[in-house]
């Protein structure tokens, strides 16, 4: 950061008084510009015993499968953002149930939050960030084509705990 977003003067990197990290500080007004992790919000959405995945149309990892998720916007809650992203990426109407998983993605300066959500119907209408949206039985999940580790972790968490904690049906074909 070269210029202050408050007064447009130059900034310099320094450790402010009573702080322990390098920050960009305005040379004129003294504004301290903090850099914080971005929140990525999404859903593990299901319909009966199928799970919703979207094939990415954008980088990073274009062509890979992911849960519907994206960056939280200003003036929305994490849950509202997760529902918005699910609608934008998959065209799916969902009912949120609860916050299911939180993952710290330190290397990307992000925190990923996934809500468990029930789909109102099997109807899907993928948006411009998705090549396609599809419902998968557990045994059909393309594990080798999952875009992000947090998505894989959220899927495995859901599949492991769905019957015990969520009272959801199990795909018995995958248990053979």
Q: Are the folds of 1-35 and 38-171 the same?
A: no
How confident is the model at residue 8, as a pLDDT? 97
What integer pLDDT is reported at residue 175 of this predicted model? 39
CATH of region 38-171: 3.90.79.10
For domain 1-35, give the fold.
Ubiquitin Ligase Nedd4; Chain: W; (2.20.70)
Domain ranges of the chain: 1-35, 38-171
pLDDT < 50: residue spans in the chain = 174-176
The helix/strand/coil state of 4 is coil
pLDDT for res 25:
98
Q: Which two tokens stand for residue 159?
A: 């599949």
Give the C-alpha separation, 153 to 172, whole Å: 21
Which tokens go with 133? 């949206």
Q: What is the pLDDT of residue 162?
A: 82
Q: Where are the beta strands (DSSP E) in 15-107?
A: 23-26, 32-33, 38-47, 50-56, 65-66, 69-71, 94-105
Q: What is the pLDDT of residue 168?
A: 64
């Amino acid at each position: 950061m070269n210029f202050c977003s408050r007064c447009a003067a130059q900034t310099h990197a320094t450790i402010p008084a009573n702080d322990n990290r390098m920050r960009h500080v305005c040379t004129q007004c003294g504004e301290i510009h903090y850099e914080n992790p971005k929140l990525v919000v999404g859903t593990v959405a299901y319909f009966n015993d199928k799970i919703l995945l979207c094939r990415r149309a954008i980088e990073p990892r274009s062509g890979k499968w992911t849960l519907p998720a994206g960056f939280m916007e200003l003036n929305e809650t994490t849950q509202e953002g997760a529902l918005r992203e699910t609608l934008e990426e998959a065209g799916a109407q969902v009912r949120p149930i609860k916050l299911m998983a939180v993952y710290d993605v330190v290397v990307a300066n992000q925190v990923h939050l996934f809500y468990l959500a029930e789909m109102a119907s099997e109807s899907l209408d993928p948006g411009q960030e998705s090549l396609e949206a599809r419902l998968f039985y557990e045994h059909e999940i393309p594990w080798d084509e999952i875009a992000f580790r947090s998505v894989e972790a959220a899927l495995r968490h859901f599949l492991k705990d769905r019957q015990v904690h969520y009272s959801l049906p199990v795909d018995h074909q995958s248990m053979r």
